[in-house]
């Protein structure tokens, strides 16, 4: 044995002594009512003493010892007692045969102690005392094997009866310790004490299991520690790779050691076969899937890590995994990845009730138009919600599926997407590598994924329906405003036609009729322009305009020429769209004229300057409005006090004014009249002149 390994082994004993001394101090400070408190402290302290004794014997004797003598026997007895107390717990019923095994191990340790005391004077196994040493080695190997057997029985019984996870760490640590002891003493016994190297590393082994003992004997209210599936899969992959490398190395060493050509050919053939097998299996998706299934089956309670799978599914659905795919394709991929299916086809329900292909992920066959599921099967599917297992020929859903699905050897399952009792679609999956029929875990995973996907599809369906309804609502609203303007023009033309029969010979009337026709034509042209640009918003800041000039033009048109008067400021400059502003004022003036008898008081338009605001008040002495109508109906579309009114004039007027940054207020009393006040931000005269001049210079430059 080289000096390096001897030094490494000595430092391993020193490290083990330090770790177990620290653990003994920590354990001694815990509550005295903890399970096996005193035996645990004793076991930790004796283990530390054993490690110090072995390294001290190495320093005094000059070579590695074969055993730890009395201290090692005491260590084994102490840990055997701790394991018995902790794994047995408080249960009166023990596994069959456990108590006799424990008693036999204690008796063997007593015999071992006698041998240790008798052989304590012997420095090495000399020829006269060799049989006694061999008996001691064989007895230690037997004790280690019996202790492992007892641990296995106690731990298995504790698991069946709901034991805690901490005892598992302790059982694992003690199993490693006694398994190493068994191999050490068995090799020493077989070699008559010549092979000592493995024993020198026992200190490192004890140092390695110290953290496991700490986990197994710590506080029970801590969170359980478990190995993740990803770590298990990667560890298994590394172990397989390491095993392959070791086997290959052994083959190469044997080839070099053998001189027989036939034996060398056999070894070369074995190396070649091993290489071919590795090249076939390691890149194989089926082999990796089989390995995952076997690891999950034997190491975990459930085959799926539901938390991890749910996070991965949600990330794929949201597009957070970085894949640049359309939403339907992401949905198909998310469901397929949940059960490791290599391909998926998403089908959505059409207007006729049948299921039609919407998107695919890695689907082996191109989408053909006749690939569909009829409405009758979709209806029955909606009623029962069964997941069809295509590996079961007599499945009630499978027997009714179309031939293009049942004839596909890769088809594995078809999952309905149901939300709120309504079938939204279905997902067809291909068979995962190394899998046959589905089990209950596959069904549970697919049900959860299908519910989430169905909810997402339902929300998208409602969003599309709402968007379509909003488009129709916008169209109806725009048409209602246009109809309102047409109604006003038709009323004006009807009045003009009625008066023309009586006053056609009057030159003044003819002049007024021509002017009215021009105004109506202009308003119709403006209406046509608005229809040609439906997306152009009304109002907005626009350019600088004169509110007084706009009000004067409205007051000089149509019936307002005879029944409206304009008073107040001669000029009030504001920023806005002059045609839209004229439209708003025209609505308010028309409402005032409709509310006032033809022979009543005229409608008054009063312009005023209030600090930094320009105000236009439209005042009538008509029928007025009630407080309830002012509060609830005035500015609501399609609500009017007039029998033939649309209820859109005041609504559109306020929309235009607020779009220009202004405000429209109203006061009214029934039987007394109404006053609308339009307020807009006032622009200083010098600023308005500067902007007008710059706009004029720009036109000249152009």
pLDDT at 157 (0 to 100): 57
Number of H helices, E strands in the chain: 23, 12
Residue 164 has pLDDT above 80, yes or no: no
Torsion of CA 524, 530, 533, 538, to 10 degrees: 160
Residue 65 has pLDDT above 90, yes or no: no
Residue 676 has pLDDT above 90, yes or no: yes
pLDDT at 13 (0 to 100): 87
Pairwise pLDDT comparison (447 vs 249), residue with the higher score: 447
Residue 695 has pLDDT above 90, yes or no: no
Element (H, E) at 427: strand 422-430
**What percent of the chain is modeled with pLDDT above 70?**
66
pLDDT at 477 (0 to 100): 65
How do residues 265-288 score in pLDDT, each as one tens digit?
665 666 667 666 666 655 555 566
pLDDT at 126 (0 to 100): 56
State the alpha helices, DSSP H only, in 161-228: 166-190, 197-200, 202-217
Pairwise pLDDT comparison (393 vs 45), residue with the higher score: 45
Residue (of 380, 573, 358) closest to 457 by Cα position: 358
Sign of CA dihedral 480, 486, 489, 490: negative
Of the candidate ranges 141-145, 254-258, 580-584, the one whose mean pLDDT is the lowest: 254-258
Pairwise pLDDT comparison (19 vs 558), residue with the higher score: 19
pLDDT at 679 (0 to 100): 92
Q: SS in 3 state form for 29-80? A: CCCCCCCCHHHHHHHHHHHHHHHHHHHHHHHHHCCCCCCCHHHHHHHHHHHH
Model confidence at 172, pLDDT cuts 50, 70, 90, reads confident
Residue 167 has pLDDT above 70, yes or no: no
Beta partners for 668?
Answer: 674
Model confidence at 615, pLDDT cuts 50, 70, 90, reads very high
The rounded distance, in Å, linking the Cα atoms of 327 and 48 is 63
Of the candidate ranges 85-89, 503-507, 560-564, 669-673, the one whose mean pLDDT is the lowest: 85-89
Residue 205 has pLDDT above 80, yes or no: yes
pLDDT at 103 (0 to 100): 85
Pairwise pLDDT comparison (638 vs 124), residue with the higher score: 638
Pairwise pLDDT comparison (301 vs 351), residue with the higher score: 351
Q: In what order do the strands lie in the sheet with 388-389?
A: 355-361, 344-349, 422-430, 411-419, 388-389
Residue 482 has pLDDT above 80, yes or no: no
Element (H, E) at 545: strand 543-546
Model confidence at 93, pLDDT cuts 50, 70, 90, reads very low
How do residues 285-340 score in pLDDT, each as one tens digit?
556 656 666 666 555 656 676 677 777 777 877 765 555 556 788 888 888 888 88
pLDDT at 411 (0 to 100): 85
pLDDT at 219 (0 to 100): 52
pLDDT at 604 (0 to 100): 92
pLDDT at 632 (0 to 100): 77
pLDDT at 323 (0 to 100): 56
Torsion of CA 443, 446, 451, 453, to 10 degrees: -170
pLDDT at 224 (0 to 100): 47
What mean pLDDT comes out for the span 19-45? 82
Of the candidate ranges 72-86, 403-417, 509-523, the one whose mean pLDDT is the lowest: 509-523
pLDDT at 285 (0 to 100): 56
The rounded distance, in Å, linking the Cα atoms of 602 and 586 is 15
pLDDT at 253 (0 to 100): 61
Angle at 15 between CA 12 and CA 21, to 5 degrees: 140
Q: SS in 3 state form for 263-308? A: HHHHHHHHHHHHHHHHHHHCCCHHHHHHHHHHHHHHHCCCCCCHHH
- Chain-wide mean pLDDT for the chain? 75
Return all residues near 15 (Cβ < 8 A) that are at least 6 apart. Answer: 203, 204, 207
Of the candidate ranges 98-107, 306-315, 408-417, 578-587, the one whose mean pLDDT is the lowest: 306-315
Residue 592 has pLDDT above 50, yes or no: yes
The rounded distance, in Å, linking the Cα atoms of 496 and 515 is 11
What mean pLDDT comes out for the span 511-520? 73
The rounded distance, in Å, linking the Cα atoms of 453 and 417 is 7
The rounded distance, in Å, linking the Cα atoms of 655 and 183 is 92
The rounded distance, in Å, linking the Cα atoms of 426 and 217 is 52
pTM, two decimal places: 0.43
User: Phi-psi region for residue 284, left (φ > 0), alpha (ψ -120 to 50) or beta?
Assistant: beta
Model confidence at 605, pLDDT cuts 50, 70, 90, reads very high
Model confidence at 699, pLDDT cuts 50, 70, 90, reads very low
Model confidence at 63, pLDDT cuts 50, 70, 90, reads very low
Burial tier of 96 (Cβ tally within 10 Å: 0-12, 13-18, 19+): exposed
Residue 236 has pLDDT above 70, yes or no: no
pLDDT at 115 (0 to 100): 81
What mean pLDDT comes out for the span 14-29? 88
pLDDT at 359 (0 to 100): 83
List C-alpha distances in Å: 97 to 94, 103, 143, 162, 304: 8, 10, 16, 20, 37
What mean pLDDT comes out for the span 615-633? 87
Residue 26 has pLDDT above 60, yes or no: yes
State the alpha helices, DSSP H only, in 319-421: 327-338, 375-384, 403-406
Helix, strand or coil, per DSSP, at residue 183: helix
Q: Are 205 and 177 in contact (CB under 8 A)?
A: yes
Of the candidate ranges 30-44, 281-295, 468-482, the one whose mean pLDDT is the lowest: 281-295
């Amino acid at each position: 044995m080289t000096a390096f390994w001897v030094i490494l082994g000595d430092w391993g004993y020193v490290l083990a002594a330090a770790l177990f001394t620290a653990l003994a101090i920590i354990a001694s400070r815990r509550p005295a009512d903890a399970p096996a408190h005193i035996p645990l402290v004793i076991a930790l302290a004796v283990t530390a003493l054993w490690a110090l004794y072995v390294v001290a014997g190495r320093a005094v004797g000059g070579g590695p010892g074969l055993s730890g003598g009395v201290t090692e026997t005491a260590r084994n007895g102490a840990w055997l007692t701790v394991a018995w107390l902790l794994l047995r717990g408080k249960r009166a019923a023990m596994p069959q045969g456990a108590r006799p095994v424990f008693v036999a191990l204690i008796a063997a340790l007593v015999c071992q102690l006698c041998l240790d005391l008798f052989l304590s004077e012997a420095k090495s196994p000399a020829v006269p005392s060799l049989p006694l040493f061999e008996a001691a080695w064989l007895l230690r190997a037997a004790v280690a094997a019996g202790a492992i057997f007892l641990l296995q029985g106690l731990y298995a019984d504790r698991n069946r009866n709901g034991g805690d996870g901490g005892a598992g760490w302790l059982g694992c640590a003690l199993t490693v310790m006694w398994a190493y002891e068994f191999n050490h003493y068995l090799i020493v016994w077989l070699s008559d004490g010549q092979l000592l190297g493995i024993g020198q590393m026992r200190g490192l082994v004890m140092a390695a299991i110290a953290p496991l003992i700490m986990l197994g004997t710590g506080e029970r209210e801590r969170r359980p520690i478990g190995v993740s599936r990803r770590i298990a899969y990667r560890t298994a992959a590394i172990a397989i790779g390491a095993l392959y490398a070791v086997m290959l190395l052994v083959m190469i060493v044997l080839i070099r050691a053998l001189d027989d050509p036939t034996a060398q050919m056999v070894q070369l053939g074995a190396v070649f076969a091993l290489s071919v097998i590795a090249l076939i299996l390691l890149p194989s998706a089926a082999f990796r899937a089989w390995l995952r299934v076997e690891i999950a089956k034997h190491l975990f309670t459930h085959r799926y890590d539901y938390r991890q799978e749910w996070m991965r599914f949600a990330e794929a659905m949201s597009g957070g995994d970085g894949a640049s795919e359309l939403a339907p394709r992401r949905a198909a991929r998310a469901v397929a990845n949940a059960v490791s299916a290599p391909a998926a086809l998403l089908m959505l329900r059409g207007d006729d009730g049948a299921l039609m292909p919407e998107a695919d992920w890695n689907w082996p066959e191109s989408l053909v138009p006749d690939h569909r599921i009829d409405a009758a099967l979709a209806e029955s599917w909606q009623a029962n919600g069964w997941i069809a297992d295509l590996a079961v020929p007599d499945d009630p859903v499978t027997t009714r599926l179309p031939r293009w699905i049942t004839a596909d050897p890769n088809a594995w399952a078809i999952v309905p997407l149901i939300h709120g009792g309504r079938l939204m679609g279905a997902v067809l999956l291909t068979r995962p590598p190394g899998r046959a029929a589905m089990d209950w875990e596959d069904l549970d995973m697919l049900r959860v994924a299908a519910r989430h996907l169905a909810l997402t599809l339902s929300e998208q369906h409602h969003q599309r329906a709402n968007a379509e309804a909003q488009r129709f609502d916008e169209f109806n609203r725009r048409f209602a405003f246009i109809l309102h303007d047409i109604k006003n023009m038709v009323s004006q033309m009807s009045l003009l036609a009625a008066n023309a029969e009586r006053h056609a010979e009057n030159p003044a009337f003819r002049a007024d009729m021509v002017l009215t026709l021009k105004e109506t034509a202009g308003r119709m042209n403006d209406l046509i322009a608005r229809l040609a640009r439906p997306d152009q918003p009304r109002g907005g800041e626009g350019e600088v305009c004169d509110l007084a000039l706009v009000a004067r033009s409205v007051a000089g048109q149509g019936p307002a020429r005879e029944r409206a008067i304009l008073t107040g400021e001669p000029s009030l400059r504001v920023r806005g769209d002059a045609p839209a502003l004229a439209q708003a004022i025209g609505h308010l003036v028309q409402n005032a004229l409709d509310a006032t008898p033809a022979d009543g008081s005229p409608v008054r338009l009063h312009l005023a300057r209030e600090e930094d605001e320009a105000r236009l008040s439209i005042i009538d002495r008509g029928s007025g409005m009630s407080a309830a109508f002012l509060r609830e109906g005035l500015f609501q579309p399609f609500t009017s006090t007039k029998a033939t009114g649309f209820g859109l004039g005041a609504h559109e007027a306020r929309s235009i004014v607020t779009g220009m940054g202004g405000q429209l207020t109203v006061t009214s009393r029934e039987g007394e009249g109404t006053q609308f006040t339009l307020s807009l931000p006032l622009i200083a005269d010098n600023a308005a002149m500067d902007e007008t001049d710059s706009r004029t210079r720009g036109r000249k430059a152009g």
